[in-house]
Structure 1
Amino acid sequence: MGGSTTATKMDKMLKALEEIKIRQDKFETKMEQVESNPATTFSKGAPAEDLQKEVKAMRSTLSALEQEMKSFREVISDCQQSVDDLEQYGRRNCLILHGAKDIPKGSYSDLVEYTLKFFNTKLKLKFQVTAMDIDIAHVLPAKKGTPLIIKFVRRSVRNSIFFSKRQLARTGFTITESLTKRRLQLLRKVQEKVGMRSAWTNNGTIFICVNDKKKVIRSLDDLQSVS
């Protein structure tokens, strides 16, 4: 319900923003007419003072519209971030295994058995992962490879596996967090700018390390401030 309500509010704000933009465009067009040929825009013989007042009023209105648009954009950005945070929270117990081959295409129990065998043989965990630890697992559609997403029942099991992912270095396997589309796109842009080794995620939050300083990246604005 909360996500649906927020999405409805965002739709209304986007429509209002579009209306403001239309009004702004009309005023900008009128301003151009006034500045290029004021005589044809207003009645002939209109006093210069009246023309100046009209132009001043138009500029004031245009400025107010621009400020209104800025405020709307900030609200929409906050709403988008809130929706994204909620979606990411729903993925908090999930991990994605990349590089897996010969994944069984039979029953669901075969897939779970494959997953358990991988974790218990490839990772040096202090415990055995059991079927009771896995809520659900399935193969994700992908253009390349067969990524396998696993949702764990307990966060502690999920975290233990995630923090053991370094053991898979140079094996052809990797384990990543399940990120929202918006967050994944941001991560890719972050990696393009600072490099793969200097960017990572933890609990859905994107971190970078530049000049020995750790920083959280939540938006493109945060990324643009990185030198």
Structure 2
Amino acid sequence: MSKATRSNSISGMANILDESILETVINKLAPKLTATIEAQLENLGKQFEQMDSKINNIVNKLDDLDKLAHFNQRAVTKLSENVDFLEQRSKMNTLRVVGMKEENNENLQARVLLSFNDGLEIKCTLDDINNVFRIRKVTENIHKSRPVIVDFVSYLKRNEIYKGRSALKGTEIYLNEDLTEQRYQLMTLSRKKYGTQNVWSRNRRIYFKVGNSVKIINKELDI
């Protein structure tokens, strides 16, 4: 056998041995590798399950917080409505006089009584009135007089005066219902949108007219 043939034969045997050893190693390692990979995959699966459970818990807590927020908002809204109702009820016997010019050292009671007796031609005396006062602070705008609140002794006299308010048309003085600040803001917003002639109040409720329809405004969303 020549050296070349012997060398090729040895090389071939070495290759066979290498392949055999490699196959043996692979056969021995494969189960361990497979088991390791399966264990890691199982561990990852458990971690994903735990993460999914935590995410679900967070989502549930967020849902609970959202429900609580909505509940609290409804409670606050209801409380605000109740406060507004009670405040408006306390104004049952009052009217707001707008446009009565301010004077230095004015006798407000006498001026109000004069406007009722002469302007409306309705008899009204000091015995019919609890109090008369201007609201809000004095401003630098001397051309804009502060409204006057008239607190009547009885609701009947208040209504009698209010029903005769049309007699003041053509003058600078207007008689309005004494609304709460919340309702007054609704009235102001409504008049800006629909026009002064199409918005009014009756029995302390605000109405507006669109076409032939008359609707009630209870909240800003109604405007």
- Structure 1 residue 202, shift from structure 2 partner: 1.8
How many Å separate the matches in 2 of 1:60 and 1:79?
28
The equivalent residue for 1:113 is 110
* Percent identity between the two aligned chains: 26
How many Å separate the matches in 2 of 1:111 and 1:215?
37
Q: Is the 8 A contact 1:93 1:153 kept in 2?
A: yes
Q: Is the 8 A contact 1:104 1:114 kept in 2?
A: no
The equivalent residue for 2:209 is 209
TM-score w.r.t. structure 2 length?
0.71
How many Å separate the matches in 1 of 2:58 and 2:179?
46
Considering only aligned residues, what root-mean-square deviation do their CA atoms show, in Å? 2.0
Q: Is the 8 A contact 2:100 2:173 kept in 1?
A: yes
Instruction: Between 86-95 and 155-164, report the one with greater CA deviation.
Output: 155-164
Matching of residue 99 in structure 1 with residue 99 in structure 2? yes
Which of 117, 130, 133 is the aligned partner of 1:138? 133
Q: Is the 8 A contact 1:103 1:111 kept in 2?
A: no
Question: Aligned residues, how many?
Answer: 175
Matches within 5 A, 1:14-93: 47-93=47-93
The equivalent residue for 2:196 is 196
Paired residue secondary structure (1:146):
coil
- Deviations along 1:6-47, one digit per CA (max 9) or x if unpaired, are xxxxxxxxxxxxxxxxxxxxxxxxxxxxxxxxxxxxxx9562
- Structure 1 residue 102, shift from structure 2 partner: 5.4
The equivalent residue for 1:35 is none
Distance 1:104 1:165, change over 3 A: farther
Q: Is the 8 A contact 1:104 1:111 kept in 2?
A: no
How many Å separate the matches in 2 of 1:164 and 1:141?
26
Q: Is the 8 A contact 2:93 2:154 kept in 1?
A: yes
Instruction: Between 48-57 and 115-124, report the one with greater CA deviation.
Output: 48-57
The equivalent residue for 1:123 is 120
Q: Is the 8 A contact 1:103 1:114 kept in 2?
A: no
How many Å separate the matches in 2 of 1:71 and 1:102?
48
How many Å separate the matches in 1 of 2:154 and 2:121?
18
The aligned amino acid for 1:145 is S
TM-score w.r.t. structure 1 length?
0.70
- Structure 1 residue 221, shift from structure 2 partner: 2.6
The aligned amino acid for 1:86 is L
How many Å separate the matches in 2 of 1:86 and 1:153?
19
Larger radius of gyration: 2
Structure 1 runs, 4 residues or longer, greater than 6 Å off? none
How many Å separate the matches in 2 of 1:187 and 1:63?
37
The aligned amino acid for 1:79 is L
The equivalent residue for 1:185 is 185
How many Å separate the matches in 1 of 2:111 and 2:197?
30
The aligned amino acid for 1:136 is N
Which consecutive unaligned segments of at least 5 residues does structure 1 have?
1-43
Q: Is the 8 A contact 2:102 2:145 kept in 1?
A: no
Q: Is the 8 A contact 1:97 1:175 kept in 2?
A: yes
Q: Is the 8 A contact 1:200 1:206 kept in 2?
A: yes
- Structure 1 residue 89, shift from structure 2 partner: 0.7
- Structure 1 residue 101, shift from structure 2 partner: 2.6
